[in-house]
Amino acid sequence: MRELFENLSRSSSMSQPKGKVPAHIKPKKFQHPNETDRVILILNEVEDPRKPSCNFHHSLTTIIFISLMGVLCGAKDWEEIVQAAHGMADWIGKHVDISAGIPSSKTLKRVMGLIPTKSLDSLLQGIRSAIGNSAGDIIAIDGKTLRGSRGWNENSRPLHLLHAWSTELGICLGQVSVDEKSNEITAFPELIESLELKGTVVTTDALNTQKKGVKAIVGKGADYVLPVKENHKDLYEDIKLLFEDADKREFKGIDAADNHSLEKSAGRLEERYYELVDVEDLPAAKEWEGCLSVGRVTRRRNKKDKTSEEVCFYITSLDLDVERFARSVRKHWGVENGLHLPLDVVFEEDKHRYQDKVGAANLSLLRKVALGILTKDTSLKCGRPAKQMRAATSSTYRDHLIKNCF
């Protein structure tokens, strides 16, 4: 009898190809009440990373929807998300299948740590498509480290994310995780390739002023304004000498354009001088695809009889369009106040201890989606924390947010 059982087991395993789901396993089908909602349609497209099983209690759409709504209502971690979901279970049940109840915090944490972050990019794209065309936008690329994602090992590095921020729309357009053994330079072209950039101007910091990155930007039909520092020493010195020569000649006989601005705020007077020069006399700049001009920005600050001056150099594909150049340089650091600061102040991102890098990246992406939803909504004339409070206490307002922001 024992031999017969072993033979049957052996023949059964041999007949089933490795890695193929047995035909008798029928994954549970979930019925979401609001299948036609834009947000549900987007979530249904996310591929479930779990192996097919008839024992699933919760659909992937339900798990992501609950996580997103919890973050939108002000929840900071998985336990808070679960408690928020229990408090609005009746409302959640009108949108997604919760026939098995609200998932536990362990389930949310485990499943969200399995989903490839790229699969959730459709949520960011959904917000962007709902807002409309971004032609003429200025896209700021900058990185942020999630301090709480560092492991207990002293050699462990926290998760670092590279973001694309729309300075005109006030939303995050995409993110890419930077590999622990690499840096932003390798992640930059990957992020550019994932975005729709035609007609925009891309800005970043000096670290990402690289030829591969420039090639990727031009290939997407966008312009660029990139700072040049001494990490490209020869190019930096050539641009510096070009402007010194232009100063001596008082820019006579030189194809150039300039712009000047003066601002007074909080007792501080700040002057900015923007200058562009054609690259015809600068062979080194021609090695950078699409480069038509080099720029110099001089900032002078006066406060309480103290004066400071800063000079920065740039390469750009803008052909002596100094007004657009000035606007691009000025707006680049809006990514700090518009994205990074709210993530730490409104969502307390750096305080959240979460060492699973994939899960941390996914939760961070949900925060950016929630931030975009709260920013886009203009029905309430108040700050984002106050909007979170309304969302947590009003099902009508939650319906309004998911209907009008996707």
The reply to whether 324 falls in a domain is yes
CA atoms within 13 A on the CB side of 348: 10
DSSP of 269-336: EEEEEEEEEEGGG-GGGGGSTT--EEEEEEEEEEETTEEEEEEEEEEESSSS-HHHHHHHHHHTTHHI
Q: Of 235, 355, 341, which is closest to residue 295 (Cα–Cα)?
A: 235
Q: State pLDDT tens for residues 370-393.
A: 999 999 899 999 999 999 999 999
Neighbours of 295 (CB within 10 A): 28
Using CA atoms in the order 392, 397, 401, 402, what is the torsion angle rounded to 10 degrees? Answer: 80
The reply to whether 210 falls in a domain is yes
Question: How would residue 14 be classed by pLDDT, with cut points 50, 70 and 90?
Answer: very low
Q: What is the pTM of this model?
A: 0.87
Q: Output the pLDDT for position 262.
A: 86
More confident residue, 29 or 118: 118
Exposure letters 304-336 (e unless 16+ CB within 10 A, then b):
eeeeeeeeebbbbbbebbbebbbbbbbbbebbe
Residue type at 257? A
Q: Output the pLDDT for position 64.
A: 96
Q: Determine the Cα–Cα distance for residues 313 and 295; give it in Å rounded to an integer.
A: 6
More confident residue, 388 or 406: 388
The reply to whether 378 falls in a domain is no
Q: Determine the Cα–Cα distance for residues 172 and 170; give it in Å rounded to an integer.
A: 7
CA 269 to chain centre: 33
Question: How would residue 6 be classed by pLDDT, with cut points 50, 70 and 90?
Answer: low
Under 8 Å CB-to-CB from 361, ≥6 apart: which residues? Answer: 117, 159, 161, 175, 177
CA 295 to chain centre: 28
Helices (H), 16-77: 38-44, 60-72
Question: How would residue 406 be classed by pLDDT, with cut points 50, 70 and 90?
Answer: confident
The reply to whether 298 falls in a domain is yes
The reply to whether 146 falls in a domain is no
Using CA atoms in the order 87, 90, 92, 96, what is the torsion angle rounded to 10 degrees? Answer: 150
Q: Output the pLDDT for position 183.
A: 85
Q: State pLDDT tens for residues 118-149.
A: 899 888 888 777 666 667 899 999 999 998 78
Q: Determine the Cα–Cα distance for residues 241 and 121; give it in Å rounded to an integer.
A: 44
The reply to whether 85 falls in a domain is no
The reply to whether 374 falls in a domain is no
Question: How would residue 23 be classed by pLDDT, with cut points 50, 70 and 90?
Answer: low
Domains identified in the chain, total number: 1
Exposure letters 339-355 (e unless 16+ CB within 10 A, then b):
bbebbeebbebbebebe
DSSP of 205-261: -GGG--HHHHHHHHHTT-EEEEEE-GGGHHHHHHHHHHHHHHHHTTTTTS-EEEEEE
Q: Which domain holds residue 223?
A: 205-331
CA 78 to chain centre: 21
Q: Determine the Cα–Cα distance for residues 238 and 244; give it in Å rounded to an integer.
A: 10
Q: What angle do CA 329, 333, 338 make, to 5 degrees?
A: 135
Helix (H, G, I), strand (E, B) or coil at 157: coil
Neighbours of 62 (CB within 10 A): 26
Structure-token pair, residue 83 = 């408690």
The reply to whether 55 falls in a domain is no
CB 369 within 8 A of CB 123: yes
Q: Determine the Cα–Cα distance for residues 117 and 189; give it in Å rounded to an integer.
A: 17
